[in-house]
Chain A
Amino acid sequence: MSSITEPRQTWKLAAGLLVVFYALVTLLPLLWIISTGFKTPSDSIAYPPKILFEPTFEGYVNLFTTQTRQSEEFLANNPPTNWYEQLVHDKGMVIAGPSRYGERFFNSLIIGFGSTFLSVFLGTLAAYAFSRYRVPLKDDLLFFILSTRMMPPIAVAIPIFLMFRSLGLSDTHAGMILLYTAVNLSLAVWLLKGFIDEIPLEYEEAALIDGYTRFQAFRKVVLPQATTGIASTAIFCLIFSWNEYAFAVLLTSGSAQTAPPFIPTIIGVGGQDWPAVAAGATLFLVPVMVFTILLRKHLLRGITFGAVRK
């Protein structure tokens, strides 16, 4: 017996080690970013790179504040009142005010989640209609919707730029939400149609018989069963709109600028402030991670959907 189980366990161990190794390789850049966020500027560019270092919040403080250099006299007259003022004070500077990172981050939240909500909302309705109703030219319409994904979205950047300028949508939240929704919607319709197709028609018919209207049947019977599809579609949409860089650079500069184009522009005194950039990138990862973890159960089921018959 043992001669059969032993090789299997060795194999399992080898497979496990391989997975751990692969995870380490892929996580290394992430680890690098996170650790750089806690380094001093000099540590961050040290060569050979420092693996062990004394952690500091300097990067995070720099990320959220603007600072000015002051005379020794001024510094002596204005002693720091808390830990982050102390940190800045030690460099011979004082905090002049908050940086724009918070605003940009907030813009990202509004635009990312706004467009995700809109894509999934419209996508669910469209997918339901495509799945259940006799739509004239259904196949052609579906192909047309898919075809919008066949070129890189940035290929239409110039027409969109011109349209946005004449419509007054440049650098507005509404404009960016609209744009990301337009890009995501085709994916949402196709993904969700697949999920809704899998829900047997009988459930809705049973609801119709039970005295509900078509819309009530959709809301009370179809939607609860489509949560898996809706959750996984939402994650895909959010990941795109959250990370989108090219359009954000092109179409936003001020009030509606999202975090991705802003982070690389964080420039400290005397050269690029790498710890602040890394801190900005680290915080930027958090919302998508939280969102994905919250919906993880659905996502896993969504990916394996159809493989296991209920």
Chain B
Amino acid sequence: MSFICFEYDLWDMRASADIGDCGSMAEIVVRNLRKEFGAFTAVQSSDFVVADKEFFMLLGPSGCGKTTTLRMIAGLELPTSGQILIDGEEVGQKPASQRDIAFVFQMFALYPHLNVRKNISYPLISQGMHRSEIQEKVLEAAKLLGIEDILNRPVSGLSGGDRQRVALGRAIVRNPKCFLMDEPLGALDAEFRERMAGELRSMHDQMGATTVYVTHDQREAMQMGDRIVVMNHGVIEQIGTPQDIYDYPATMFVAEFIGSPPMNFLFFEDTLAPEADTITLNGQSISIRPVSTAGRGSFAFGVRPEHISFDDMSPYRGRIDATEYLGTTQIVTMTTPNGSLKARLAADIKIIVGDSVGLAFRKELVTIFDCESGVAVTSSPDQDRQRNG
């Protein structure tokens, strides 16, 4: 624990030291980006803008196209169609070497035949920089990462965390326009991961960098990202801040992918008028946020486990099947007339398996999905703002 504190102290010191401030950081614009591998379409048609100095997460299950998107931004894959602008310059068809970006690979890809110092100085050597200047910059980067003492070591004997730091050193030493990271914590042990996530985020803030970060780990994305893009089957499902995505999922996929346990779905048939603010679940009227898209047919009533509470007055009831004790909270599994439900409740609430309980839902955080399209039909705060403003 004390070690972690030490790491953060180190970062705080940097803040005043004014080292490694990136002047040339930039906005990344992705327009109608598409990538096909033969008959397979990895990325359908992506549109997003990464703001300057933003920590931007590409999140999704494996094979969703997030890594392909990142590799296209890096220039390791050329897009089938669409545009990529870095710092206002169209780079879509340029080779990686001309894009002035840094990439951190999942397995770090440190040059195994070179020592730590050589690895970090490699991007500077290619620029034809003078030797003394290289030495200086390498030392600066090494100090920033706390790896001055291993500069002359071969990379083969390094621990996972040190490899990670060397890979970051190689990325920051050249002051690139942006950092692209492909699951950089994926190869680390669980205990290291937490620490490196903190270090990464601090480094990003210190350098005032623009970072695009690929991960399949929703916790990592929520913890580190300013904004998250959730992708599935090559399609962007939702773009937003971690809180937006968590509270107002745009699709059933996002609702299920984010959160542990994921959002509950209670299925029902109904006819929803525009601006309707109640639905009928098993004959009971339940209030919700206003519906923005009218429709009729099958719907899903989506509610996060922690937005469910027990309320003896509630006419909507469920039967308790089981409970899992988690220390601060407990997960209670219930059966309702519309499907099963997991609720996250305070650990000290007494649960009797087999009891029938009344259920209350936080109406402002309930989302209704159209089962056929999987898209949310309730309005999100964004839409509210648009409507009101």
Kindly specify which of A5-13, A24-32, A39-47, A199-207 makes contact with the partner chain: A199-207
Query: Does residue B111 face the partner (Cβ distance < 8 Å to A)?
Result: yes
Query: Does residue A136 face the partner (Cβ distance < 8 Å to B)?
Result: no
Query: Does residue A208 face the partner (Cβ distance < 8 Å to B)?
Result: yes
Per-residue contact bits, chain B 103-140, to A (CB 8 Å; 1 contact, 0 not): 10101011111000000001100110000000000000
Query: Does residue B75 face the partner (Cβ distance < 8 Å to A)?
Result: yes
B100 closest partner in A (C-beta): A211
B167 closest partner in A (C-beta): A206
A208 x B76 contact (CB < 8 A): yes
B127 x A211 contact (CB < 8 A): yes
Query: Does residue A99 face the partner (Cβ distance < 8 Å to B)?
Result: no
What's the nearest-Cβ distance from chain B to residue A301, in Å?
14
**Chain A 256-310 interface residues, beta-carbon cutoff 8 Å to B:** 310
Most B-side CB within 10 Å, residue of A205, A207, A209, A221: A209
Q: In the assembled complex, which residues on chain B have CB atoms less than 8 Å from the CB atom of A211?
A: 97, 123, 126-127, 174
A265 to B375, CA, bound (A): 89
Per-residue contact bits, chain B 45-82, to A (CB 8 Å; 1 contact, 0 not): 00000000000000000000000000000111000000
What's the nearest-Cβ distance from chain A to residue B316, in Å?
54
Contact of A207 among B101, B122, B127 (CB under 8 A): B122
Query: Does residue A210 face the partner (Cβ distance < 8 Å to B)?
Result: yes
A210 x B112 contact (CB < 8 A): no
A205 to B75, CA, bound (A): 10
What's the nearest-Cβ distance from chain A to residue B99, in Å?
8
B109 x A208 contact (CB < 8 A): no
Query: Does residue A243 face the partner (Cβ distance < 8 Å to B)?
Result: no
**Chain A 180-208 interface residues, beta-carbon cutoff 8 Å to B:** 200, 202-203, 205-208
Query: Does residue B102 face the partner (Cβ distance < 8 Å to A)?
Result: yes
A217 closest partner in B (C-beta): B97
The size class of the interface chain A forms with chain B is 10 to 19
Given known pairs A211-B97, A310-B156, the reply for A206 and B112 (CB within 8 Å) is no
Query: Does residue A212 face the partner (Cβ distance < 8 Å to B)?
Result: yes
Contact of A210 among B75, B95, B156, B170 (CB under 8 A): B170
What's the nearest-Cβ distance from chain B to residue A310, in Å?
7
Query: Does residue A225 face the partner (Cβ distance < 8 Å to B)?
Result: yes
Query: Does residue A152 face the partner (Cβ distance < 8 Å to B)?
Result: no
A212 x B76 contact (CB < 8 A): no
B109 x A203 contact (CB < 8 A): yes
A212 to B174, CA, bound (A): 14
Contact of B109 among A200, A212, A216 (CB under 8 A): A200
B97 x A208 contact (CB < 8 A): yes
Given known pairs A200-B107, A208-B76, the reply for A213 and B97 (CB within 8 Å) is yes
Query: Does residue A159 face the partner (Cβ distance < 8 Å to B)?
Result: no
A202 x B107 contact (CB < 8 A): yes
What's the nearest-Cβ distance from chain A to residue B60, in Å?
21
B156 x A209 contact (CB < 8 A): no
Query: Does residue A224 face the partner (Cβ distance < 8 Å to B)?
Result: yes
Q: In the assembled complex, which residues on chain A have CB atoms less than 8 Å from the CB atom of B103?
A: 205-206, 209
Q: In the assembled complex, which residues on chain B have CB atoms less than 8 Å from the CB atom of A310?
A: 112, 156
B106 closest partner in A (C-beta): A202
What's the nearest-Cβ distance from chain B to residue A309, in Å?
13
B170 x A208 contact (CB < 8 A): no
B109 x A206 contact (CB < 8 A): yes
A223 closest partner in B (C-beta): B113
Q: In the assembled complex, which residues on chain B have CB atoms less than 8 Å from the CB atom of A206?
A: 103, 105, 109-111, 170
A221 x B111 contact (CB < 8 A): yes
A310 to B107, CA, bound (A): 13
A208 to B101, CA, bound (A): 10
A208 x B111 contact (CB < 8 A): no
A310 to B105, CA, bound (A): 18
Query: Does residue B214 face the partner (Cβ distance < 8 Å to A)?
Result: no
B103 closest partner in A (C-beta): A209
Q: In the assembled complex, which residues on chain B have CB atoms less than 8 Å from the CB atom of A209?
A: 74-76, 96-97, 101-103, 123
What's the nearest-Cβ distance from chain B to residue A27, in Å?
37
What's the nearest-Cβ distance from chain A to residue B306, in Å?
40
Q: In the assembled complex, which residues on chain A have CB atoms less than 8 Å from the CB atom of B123?
A: 209-211
B127 closest partner in A (C-beta): A211
A224 to B114, CA, bound (A): 10
A200 to B126, CA, bound (A): 21
B156 x A224 contact (CB < 8 A): no
Given known pairs A202-B105, A310-B156, the reply for A208 and B75 (CB within 8 Å) is yes
Per-residue contact bits, chain B 362-376, to A (CB 8 Å; 1 contact, 0 not): 000000000000000
A216 closest partner in B (C-beta): B126
Q: In the assembled complex, which residues on chain B have CB atoms less than 8 Å from the CB atom of A200?
A: 107, 109
B96 x A225 contact (CB < 8 A): no
**10 A-B pairs, CB-CB below 8 angstroms?**
A202-B109, A205-B76, A208-B75, A209-B102, A209-B103, A209-B123, A211-B97, A211-B126, A310-B112, A310-B156
What 5 A-B pairs are tightest by C-beta distance, nearest first? A202-B109, A211-B126, A210-B123, A208-B96, A206-B109
Beyond the given A206-B111, A209-B74, A225-B113, please list 19 additional residue pairs across the A-B interface where CB-CB is below 8 A.
Answer: A202-B107, A202-B109, A203-B112, A205-B76, A206-B103, A206-B105, A208-B75, A209-B75, A209-B101, A209-B103, A209-B123, A210-B122, A210-B123, A210-B174, A211-B126, A212-B97, A213-B97, A214-B95, A216-B126
